[in-house]
Amino acid sequence: MSINNKHLDDFLRAENANVKHNFDAASINNAIVNNQFALYYQPQIDLPSGKVVGFEGLLRWKHPEFGITLPEDFITVAEQSGQIDALTNVAIGKGFKFMEKLSPDLKFSLNISTQSIKNYHLVETLNTSCHEFHIDPHRVVLEFNEAAALENPFHTRNILAQLNMNGFGLGIDDSGAGYSSIPELEKLPFSELKIDKSLVSTMEFSSESRKSIISTIELADRLGISTVAEGIENNLEAIGLRELGCKVGQGYYFAKPMVETETLIWLENWDKDTLCN
Ligand code: C2E
Ligand code: CA
Ligand code: CA
């Protein structure tokens, strides 16, 4: 299963690497209007029990000419052109609609750009969408990158506090890359640290990577929050991370990001004993 998943996603990435897209604001706008963006879902697994705890939503552009296009080709353009909030809204709308179909104990993680954290409407948009789709905000985790969390601390702290007060979970994506400002991070109401896939893929042979993973888990334990490791591609990494005390895992080993129908079939067939020892 893992090899298949990896091959399918890698194939897409290799195809994409060969083509340099120069998308502009008008084409992104056209794609939003024509409903060409889709949200794919990748499961997150509780490492001790093997149970599914939730999904991360990852955007794809179903481009009529180029096929499935990855976020690296359009997120930066959308950030620069001021369209990222519109894309965030697309992801919220599609993701929450999907969540309504899932068991209420499953969570949903959504990537929030550094740009969107500056948007005061974010809290309102999320609250309105939770209401519309009957979603408890405690089921939603908003993933920010470390730089976004630390940039413009006063404003950021205010928005993060509002999101936290409204019940949303807050995660830091790509953790472990340095923690230049741990004291600053500790003041913010995060509920989850996400261990970067670059550390997971090198943990087997790099003591530096293992050290970063351990210090991230120790920091999370000290703060009483969860750890999620991304980019798990094999059983060895999954078991290793579980032994280091990481709570949740995500990666091709479990499943690649999938469309909604495929996700529901995967969920039905998931065997929590896949992750034995
Ligand atoms: P990310 O949030 O760090 O997401 C993890 C990336 O790793 C995803 O790439 C995912 O498909 C890929 N991945 C998952 N499992 C594995 C694995 O086992 N091995 C490896 N090597 N990679 C794996 P993707 O989907 O291309 O997304 C790239 C980035 O684009 C994301 O990084 C995120 O920062 C951004 N992104 C995706 N969707 C959204 C969105 O809705 N809004 C915003 N603002 N950014 C998004
Ligand atoms: Ca993420
Ligand atoms: Ca990441």
In 38-152, alpha helices (H): 75-81, 84-99, 121-132, 146-150
Indicate which residue of 143, 230, 233, 237 is catalytic. Answer: 230
pLDDT of residue 2: 46
In 3D, which of 200, 160, 152 has the Cα closest to residue 176?
200
Q: Closest-lying ligand to the alpha carbon of 196?
A: 3
CA torsion 182→186→192→197, rounded to 10°? -10
Q: Which atom of ligand 1 is nearest to the CA of 233?
A: 18
Pocket test of ligand 1: the residue of 3, 111, 113 to mutate, having most ligand atoms within 8 Å of its CB, is 111
Quick: pLDDT tens for 243-257.
999 999 999 999 999
pLDDT at 1 over 50: no
The candidate with the shortest Cα–Cα distance to 36, out of 17, 23, 19, is 23
Mean pLDDT calculated for residue range 3-23: 66
> Which residues are bridge partners to 93 per DSSP?
none
Could you read off the pLDDT of 108-125 as tens digits, one per residue? Answer: 999 999 888 878 799 999
Q: Both tokens of residue 186?
A: 């500790």
Q: How confident is the model at residue 174 (pLDDT cuts 50, 70, 90)?
A: confident
**For 89-112, how does the pLDDT look when each residue is reduced to its tens digit (9 = 90+)?**
999 999 999 999 999 999 999 999
Per-position DSSP letters for 205-252, written without gaps between them: T-HHHHHHHHHHHHHHHHHT-EEEE----SHHHHHHHHHTT--EE-ST
Is residue 44 a contact partner of residue 248, using CB atoms and an 8 Å limit?
yes
Name residue, tokens 């400002």.
Answer: 181
Ligand 3 centroid from CA 174, angstroms = 4
What percent of the chain has pLDDT above 70? 88
pLDDT at position 3, please? 46
pLDDT tens for residues 219-268? 999 999 999 999 999 999 999 999 999 999 999 999 999 999 999 999 99
Alpha-carbon gap, residue 230 to 227, rounded angstroms: 10
pLDDT in tens, 25-51: 999 999 999 999 999 999 999 999 999
Q: Is 230 a catalytic residue?
A: yes
